[in-house]
Every structure is written in structure tokens, then in C-alpha cells.
Structure 1
Amino acid sequence: MKPENFSFNGEFSAPQASARRLNTLKIRRKRWLAVHLYLGLSAGLLLAVVGLTGGILVFYLEMQEILNPELSVVSLPAVEQRHLRSLDDIVAAAETAKPPSSYFFKVYYPRKADIAYKFLYFVREQNPPAKGDGYYIFVDPYTARVQGLQLWHPTDQYWGRPLVSFIMQLHWCLLLGKTGGTIVGILGAFSIISVLTGLIVWWPLTGKFRQALTFKANAGPVRFNFDLHKTAGFYFSIALLPVLFSGIYMTLPERVDVLVKPFSTMTRPNAYSGIPEMIDSAPPKAGQQTISLAQVETIVQQSYPAGRLWMLNAPKDRTDVFRVMKRDVDELSRFVGYREIAVDQYSGEILKVYDSGTGSNADVFYDWQWPLHSGHAFGWPGRILVLLAGLACPVLYITGVIRWLQKRHAKQAIKLRG
């Protein structure tokens, strides 16, 4: 009579082969668990900070308006009197309030009827005490009255700035400048590995997916912590992976370019713009002056009326161009639909237009990165999902550390009993 689970030709039967395969998979998962553990313990705290601040920043515009309503929010006139002042009047008002030795950098258009224009000015480098400081000036669009001035970006200083600005810097660079930005990008790469190894460790080798996707009923605190870690890790990995990758792209775009360029040509110049930096205005004729912002606005609106005005960047020097961005352009993708327009600062000629979601595969791929990172690609549901994914980062770190300590204490208890 042949032994159980053993065939006549010396091979293991199906149940025994299955058991051996399961054992092999458990050994392999144990190795991945070690990788996941060490990444979590070494980078988890920083990921928790970056994730939490990133989740909060999904609603940074709303936060600014809630925290500083006296600057951002305006009183709406009666409907019959609700007429916007010309952009030239609004610019003139901002100019009266600008800090000494500062220059106009860009203006953000109101996103709603009761929101002020927001002008960004930077102090010139020739002014040593405050060189490079960035100020916001808020102007009422109906009265052209300056509502206030806010020091938004003090150079090389992180304390004493507005809360939302502080959170932005903490998220982008951990308050460490460009070096911190590089660290955050590298951290993002490690975090992707951590998420992927977490999914490998989560995968139920016995096929009990329902158990792996739910909480055990009436479980004690140890099991609850374990279930919270694995379920949160699984569900939020769907949002975390694209958010982490897009974060790497925005902090280390040149490194990501190296990976993407072999597969597709690319015309999009960088992570923040669709129009190349080297586009210049034609040399001015004798006595020719830069056109006004109101003229730029009129030119753009007449040529490309679709969408809403979002941002207007001033030329950086006498050879640069105006750059106007419009959002919610219906004729483009409703997920990543924005249009960027370069205008000659002297003649008003439109020199180049970039439509998001068009161009090469690499261009389209890159156009998705900011909308995915911020959640704006899918409207309010997308923003809420990114917020929850950001909040999940400290939850995963804390529950992971607790799980590690629980297992460590359990091993120590076994040693003491032995």
C-alpha cells in the first residue's frame, strides 16, 4: 500500500505539492514583510507628515478663505449693481499697496463671485533686508479697493508665515528648501515600494479575500489594529500609488523624464507649464511699451473665450511673454482641461497655445499628474479621496509601529517563558 500523499513514481501528490508551494510562498512573503517593515520604520514618519499635509492641502484655497476671510472674501453688491471693475483699475489699486522695491509676478483670478483678486509681488533682490519675499495683495473686483496685504513667502524663513503657506512648505520640502524637495521625491519612491510590498504581504495565500478585506467581528485591540492596517493599506493604495508617483514627478521632473522619454517624444517642458521657457517677445519698436494686463485679457478672451480665467503671469524681463492660463475649458478633457496661452508683451500677438490632454503620449501622461495629485481630476469625489489617502498615511504608520511592537513584545514573552 502506497504512503498517503505519495505517488508510485516518487512524486508528491496534489495536496502535498500544494502544501509545499504554500510554504514557499510564506517564506517569500516573510522576506517582503522584512522589506516593508524596514521601509515603514525608516521612512514612515516622514511619509506620515508629507501625506497628512498633502491631504490637508487638497483644500488649500478654501482654507485660505476660511482663515483669512477679511482678505479673500468680498461683499457681493446687489445683482443689478454687480459689475466687475476693469483689470487695469484693479491692477492700479494693487500697485498702490505693493511693498517698496517689489515687482508684479502674477495675478490669480477670483474662482467665485465673492472672492477677491489675488496679486503676487516679490521684493527685488537689490533690496537686501527683504529680498525675495513674496506678498499677496487682495483687491475687491467690484470696488477696486485693496482688502489687505499678506506676507506669504518670506525668503529662507518658515516660521511666521501664514498657516497654509507653512503647511505647503512642510509638504513640499519638509522645511529644508531644495534639498528637502529632493528628499521628499526620494521618499516618494521608497513609499511606492512600501505600498507595493504591503500589497504583497496583504495578499491572502489561502484565497480568503473576504477575510483580508474586512474587519473581524468582536475582535480585541490587537486584531483591530492589524485589520485597520491591512484594510486601510489595501483600499487607499488605489489613490496612494498615483499620488506618490505624481509627487515624485513634481519634485524630481528630470529624473522621471529619463524613464518616460524612451517610450514617447515630449513637448511639455516641465511639471508646471506647457509652454517652453525660451519663448520670447519680438524686440520692441522704438518707443513701444508693454501692453497692459487688461489688453492681454481682452486679446485672450476674444481669441479663446472658452473656460474661465485662472492665472496671468507677467513677463520676467523685457524679452519674456505674458502667460495666461484658463481652466474648465469644455472643449478639452473635463478631467485635465486647461489652456495656457503665451502673448507677446509688446504687440499682443498670441505666440503659442498649449492645450492640456493633447500632444504626445508623454505630454498627456504628464498633464494628468497635477490633477491626480490634487484630486481635481475627478472633482469633489477625487479631492475627498486624496484627502482620505493623505490622512491614511499617519494611520498606516501608527498602526504599523503598534503592530511591530506587539509582535516584538510577543517574541520577548516567548523567550522569557522558554
Structure 2
Amino acid sequence: MNFKKATRQIHLWLGLATGIVVFIVCITAAVWAFSPEIESATQPYRHVIPQDKPFLSISELKTIAQKQLPQKKVNRISFEGKEKAATADFYGDGYYYTAYINPYDGKVLAFINNENGFFRWVIEGHYELWMGEFGGEIVRWSTLIFVVMLITGIVLWWPKNKAARKQRFKVKMGTSPKRLNYDLHNVLGFYASWIVIFGALTGLVWTFECVSDTEYWLASGGAKKVEYPNPIAKKPQNLTLEQKGIDSVFISKIKEYNNPHSASVSFPETDSTAYNISIYPNQSGYDNDDFYYNQYTFKEIPVKAYGKYANANSGEIASRMNYDIHIGSIFGLTGRIAMFLAVLIGASLPITGFYIWLGRNNKKKTK
């Protein structure tokens, strides 16, 4: 009983301290959950009519895109199927633009500032409460506290005996508002906790380096985490730069994968960095293959990690899966729906919990 009483106090005060933050983070996660489908349905410039001819080359699309923002460099060209527009991204410190281009005829369908828009506003709230770096610190520590609250909530929910267990798995309807609120907090909170805790833990992987290192260490069986590659591309002496070399390399990769789900080319940012070709064979986001090429010779540069998915160890696979676990897509559409419902319940927990605390306080005053 003393243990449960201490747990209840921890749960209570941590909940009161972080309730508003948890509500914002969860409700923005719910809004963000189906943003790809919403954007696809409401932004026609993302789609093109498929034609019986090949796409324009990487170099041609880059030249077209560069005219939209001459003062900045194109960082990446991406493709996603025959019915989607090609995209050219410009990103750097304080800016992020995307040009949507018809890959068959080169027509620019839209040029978008990604720093604006509703979903950009939503994700900024999710990451940093619209408060910049200071808000980001609040979110990451509140997420850590939220994990503790989920665990203590399950401990408090756990019934003492079989008779109590029967009442803990369902919300009792037709009862008083106070009792209904109590059941909504405890019963729905119990079910949602087993899903939301994965979203919270994967969030901690991004915000705490020690958590990221621990995840890699546990998944790999004790191996030290390997950082993402940044291969150096050296220019041989007396070599003439071939501007069109990346086109043939990219085409050969696409043929090798027999029309993958999506693919992209990231351009070298300096004179000593490499081209990066990313191939996504399937719709899942974690099993992609990355290849790096010398920007002068177009020869492949081998990497020790985060290259081909088939060569990844279990620690790297865990790192790759982090985002898909975070949003639930690791289990496809079913997983995303489950995470959506779970974070909606998560957003309600600070509200129902506050009313439970308020009711108990009023009861004490009445006595």
C-alpha cells in the first residue's frame, strides 16, 4: 500500500507538471498522423498523368529546378512512381523549398516554401511547442517524464484481486459523470499506454543521445553505435569533370531494382563530398539502400554502415525502424490507425486526470 501511495503521488505531481505539454504533443501527433494522405488529396500538383515515355534525366530536372531559386543550390531530386511529380528540394540553414516538376515534360507544377503551411505549424508544435530550442528542451524532458507516468499509471491500474480485475478492462456506462471520467482515464489509459509508450520511447531516441546509444547497444548485442557515413570524394589529378555522369549511374540503379517504389539523388554539398542515391524498394521507410559515388569519377564509395539494408546489423535496423515505430507504420495502415487512436487517448489523459485530482480536492474540502 505504501508503494502504491508513493506511486500515486509521483503520477499525480508529474502529471500536473507536464499535462499541458503532453496534451500538445499528443494532439499534434494525432493531427500529423495522416498528413501524407491529406496533402496528397488536397494538393493536386503532387500528381501527374502517366505517359508512355521515360522521365527527364536528373541533370535536366536539376537545371529546371535551379531556375526557381537561382541563389540557392538544389540539394536533392526525388521520384515516387509514374503518377507522382518529381520533387527538387532546396534546404539549408533557415530555408526549405520544394519544386514539383512533371517528370515527363519538365513543367513546374508548384514551388512551395515548406517553412509555411498548416502541417509545418503542427510539427513545430510537436517538436518544440512553437518556442524554438527552449520549447524543444521542454518537450524532450516532458517526454521522459511521460514515460514514467505511463509506467506508474499501469502500476496504479493493476488490480489487487480477480474481483477488481473484472472492473478494470471496460468503461462502465450509465453511471455518474465522476465515475465515467475515472473509467475513461484508467481503462482507456491502460489500453493506450501499451502503444503510446513506443511512440514516447522512440521520441527519446532522437532527443537523448544516451538513449540512442543504448538502443543500438541492446539491439546489436553490445556493439558500439556507428555514425551515418560522410564519404570523402577526392578529385584525381588531370581529370575532366563529367557533368552527365550521375544520370547514367542513376538509370542503371533504377533498372537494377526494377522500378522501385521511390528513389532520390542527393547532390554533393562541397568539393569533397559524394553523390548519394537512395532506393526505396517498398513503401516502408526503413529498408532503403543507400549508395555513394565519387562526384568526379562516379565510382561507388563503399561504406561500413547505413548502406544496403541487407548488410545492416540488428542495431542499425533498430535505428532505421525508429521513425516507423514512432508513427506506427511499422505495422502498416493498421499500426498508424492504432497509434492515432492511442495518442488521441493520450491527449485526453491530462484532462481526465486533472478532473480526478480536482474531485478529490473538493472532497477533502467538504470533509
In the aligned structure 2, how far is the partner of 1:310 from the partner of 1:327?
6
Structure 1 residue 251 and structure 2 residue 200: aligned? Answer: no
Residues 309 and 281 from structure 1, CA distance in 2 versus in 1: closer, same or farther, beyond 3 angstroms? Answer: farther
Whether 1:55 aligns to 2:11 is no
The amino acid of 1:295's aligned partner reads S
Q: Is the 8 A contact 1:173 1:184 kept in 2?
A: yes
- Which deviations, in whole Å up to 9, do the C-alpha atoms of 1:198-255 show, x marking residues without a partner? 0001101123323101011421211111111112211111211111111111223355
Mapped partners of 1:190, 1:239: distance in 2: 16
User: Structure 2 CA distance, aligned partners of 1:120 and 1:321?
Assistant: 17
1:151 partnered with 2:113: yes
One-letter amino acid of the counterpart of residue 114, structure 2: W
Cα distance between partner residues in 1 of 2:54 and 2:268:
29
Contact kept, 8 Å, 2:257 with 2:281, in 1: the verdict is: no
- Are residue 176 (structure 1) and residue 131 (structure 2) matched? yes
Distance 1:342 1:83, change over 3 A: closer
Alpha-carbon distance in 1 for matches of 2:247, 2:34: 30
Match of residue 372 from structure 1: 325
TM-aligned CA distance change 1:383 to 1:113, over 3 Å: farther
CA contact (8 A) 1:45 1:397 kept: yes
CA contact (8 A) 2:246 2:298 kept: no
Alignment match of 2:102 (pick from 120, 123, 140): 140
Cα shift at 1:59: 2.3
State which structure, 1 or 2, has the greater radius of gyration over its C-alpha atoms.
Answer: 1
- Of residues 119, 126, 147, the one that matches 1:164 is 119
Task: Name the Cα RMSD after superposition.
Answer: 2.6
> Which runs of structure 2 are paired with 1:14-413 in the superposition (5 Å)?
26-69=1-44, 71-74=45-48, 76-77=49-50, 81=52, 83-97=54-68, 99-110=69-80, 112-122=81-91, 132-153=94-115, 161-207=116-162, 208-257=164-213, 260-261=216-217, 264-266=222-224, 268-269=226-227, 275-277=228-230, 279-285=231-237, 286-289=239-242, 291=244, 293-305=246-258, 307-329=260-282, 336-352=286-302, 354-356=307-309, 359-413=312-366
Q: 2: distance between equivalents of 1:283 and 1:223?
A: 73
Q: Distance in 2 between matches of 1:322 and 1:267?
A: 24
Shift in alpha-carbon separation, 1:318–1:298, aligned structure 2, 3 A? same
Read off the aligned partner of 2:46 and give its amino acid letter: S
Which ranges of 4 or more aligned residues in structure 1 deviate by more than 6 Å? none
Q: TM-score, normalised by structure 2?
A: 0.88
Structure 1 residue runs of 5 or longer lacking an equivalent are 1-25, 124-130, 154-160, 270-274
Say if 1:304 and 1:268 are closer, same or farther in 2 by CA, change over 3 A. Answer: farther
- Is the contact between residue 267 and residue 275 of structure 2 (CA under 8 Å) also seen in structure 1? yes
1:33 Cα offset (Å): 1.0
Do the aligned residues in 1 keep the contact of 2:233 with 2:274 (CA within 8 Å)? yes
Which consecutive residues of structure 2, in runs of 5 or more, have no partner in the other structure?
A: none
- Give the count of matched residue pairs: 360
Check whether the contact 2:97–2:114 (CA below 8 A) recurs between aligned residues. Answer: yes
1:234 & 1:113 partners in 2: Cα distance? 44
Q: Which has the higher contact order (CA 8 A, sep 6+)?
A: 2
Quote the offset at 1:67 in angstroms.
4.0
Identity among equivalent pairs (%)? 21
**1:102 partner SS:** coil
Q: Does the CA-based 8 Å contact 1:356-1:367 persist in structure 2? A: no
Whole-Å separation in 2 of the counterparts to 1:45 and 1:189: 15
1:291 and 1:102 map into 2 onto residues whose CA distance is: 21
How far apart, CA to CA, are the structure 2 residues paired with 1:345 and 1:357? 25
> Letter of the aligned partner of 2:18 in structure 1?
A
Q: Deviations over 1:353-391 (max 9, x none)?
A: 623475443223222211101222111011111212222
SS at match of 1:136: strand
